[in-house]
Amino acid sequence: MLMNKERFNNIKGVSAVTLCLLFILMLSGFKAVQENSVTIEQVQKEHGVVLVGINSNYYPVTIELDLKLKNMISSEKNPLTTVIPGKSKLELLELEVDTPNSSSGWEYNFKYYQGSIFAKHNDKIAYRLPYKIGEQHRLDQGYNGKFSHKGDSRYSLDFNMEEGTEIYSSRAGTVVEIEARYSNGGKHKSFIDKANYVTILHDDGTFAQYSHLRKNGVTVSIGQKVKVGERIGYSGSTGYVTGPHLHFTVLQAKKGGGFISIPVKFATRAGIKTLEEKKTYTAY
């Protein structure tokens, strides 16, 4: 699901060359990246300028920067694709005048989106079942489920559970997105973007999303560090659903914006397993 939104600015440079800056804000699987949440700062040097990327989000962003240069040299390859960590600044590149006392200038555009396209999932991780120890829940829809687990979402899991069931984190990380305002759900496509959820960033750059929570059913806040097995909310039936359940998926950013789901394994009483549809599993 993508949504493009563009805004143009003209910025005056020290060499009296007009710079064109293009922002492309993209919906990348959760919420749209907020306007101006990622900016580029220009730090003037004696013979050029340093471009610094500033990310005010809690999650990393991938930035794609394209330059058009006149009598200037870039310290990095062009175009440049790199990742700015959450809540941080990163020196992207330095531009220097090639031939002094000659006309020079630059023009650039960039786009950015949630997550690092260079993230690599740690396949040694065994995830904890996302509910209370001792509870049993059936997996109603597993990987490549016929109802809705297709395409980029094919490695998703739907646990059958009554509304109000406590939800626990399957892996440690940082809460980077939450939604808790919606109260309704159903099979109509109009409900697709109306699910409550918690999104947690892992230390390998992947994300886990816990979806369809009840209204006001989120018990963590953005920026909060959570451990494995920490309560993060309550199940519900908001968004595109046929009934109350927990939708769980691990996600990795893909080039251009959006995410792909990743198959993961869980610690069960029978060992570390890939969960199978229609089977019941006990958290421990």
Task: Domain ranges for the chain, please list them.
Answer: 4-114, 126-282
Q: What is the structure's pLDDT at 187?
A: 86
Question: Which pLDDT score is estimated for 205?
Answer: 97
pLDDT at position 26: 28
Close Cβ partners of 80 (under 8 Å, ≥ 6 residues apart): 64, 65, 66, 67, 74, 92, 93
Which has more pLDDT, 269 or 252? 252
Tens-place pLDDT, residues 43-93: 998 888 999 999 999 999 999 999 999 999 999 999 999 999 999 999 999
Q: Considering only 33-47, 100-114, 194-208, 233-247, which range has the smallest mean pLDDT?
A: 33-47
Residue 129 is predicted with a pLDDT of 98
User: pLDDT-derived band of residue 31, with 50, 70 and 90 as boundaries?
Assistant: low
pLDDT attached to residue 4:
25
Q: How far apart are CA 234 and CA 142, in angstroms?
A: 21
pLDDT band at 228 (very low <50, low <70, confident <90, very high): very high
Cα dihedral 67, 2, 256, 25, rounded to 10, equals 30
Tell me which residue of 159, 168, 101, 95 sits closest to 130, measured CA to CA. Answer: 168
Q: What pLDDT does 86 receive?
A: 97
Q: Given a cut of 70, is residue 22 above it in pLDDT?
A: no
Q: What is the CATH number of domain 4-114?
A: 2.60.40
**Residues in CB range of 280: below 8 A, 6 or more apart:** 136, 137, 138, 139
* pLDDT at residue 32 greater than cutoff 60: no
* Share above pLDDT 70 across residues of the chain, in percent, rounded to a whole number: 88
Q: In the prediction, which pLDDT does 147 show?
A: 81
In degrees, rounded to 5, the angle at the alpha carbon of residue 206 between the alpha carbons of residues 59 and 27 is 55
Alpha carbons 95 and 71: distance in angstroms, whole number? 10
What's the per-residue H, E or C state across the chain? Answer: CCCEEEEEEEEECCCCCEEEEEEEEEECCCCECCCCCEEEEEEEECCEEEEEEEECCCCCEEEEEEEEEECEEECCCCCEEEEECCCEEEEEEEEEECCCCCCCEEEEEEEEEECCCCCCCCCCCEECCCECCCCEEEEEECCCCCCCCCHHHCCEEEEECCCCCEEECCCCEEEEEEECCCCCEECCHHHCCCCEEEEEECCCCCEEEEEEEEEEEECCCCCCEECCCCEEEEEECCEECCCCEEEEEEEEECCCCCEEEECCEEEECCEEECCCCCCEEECC
Q: Which of 8-17, 152-161, 182-191, 233-242 has the lowest mean pLDDT?
A: 8-17
The answer, yes or no, to whether residue 169 has pLDDT greater than 60, is: yes
Q: Whose structure tokens read 């300028």?
A: 49
Q: What is the pLDDT of residues 88-123, one digit of tens each?
A: 999 999 999 999 888 989 999 999 999 999 999 999
State the CATH architecture for 126-282. Answer: Distorted Sandwich (2.70)
The mean pLDDT of 182-203, rounded to a whole number, is 93
8 Å CB contact between 253 and 119: yes
> How far is CA 170 from each of CA 69, 118, 130, 219, rounded to the nearest angstrom?
48, 23, 5, 15
- Output the CA–CA distances (angstroms, integers) from residue 129 to 108, 145, 155, in the order listed: 46, 19, 16
How far is Cα 107 from Cα 233, in angstroms, rounded to an integer?
A: 47
For position 61, what pLDDT does the model report?
A: 97
pLDDT exceeds 70 at position 21:
no
Average pLDDT, the chain: 87
pLDDT at 27: 27
Task: Supply the pTM of this predicted model.
Answer: 0.86
Is 130:250 a contact under the CB 8 Å cutoff?
no
Q: What pLDDT shows up at residue 35? A: 66
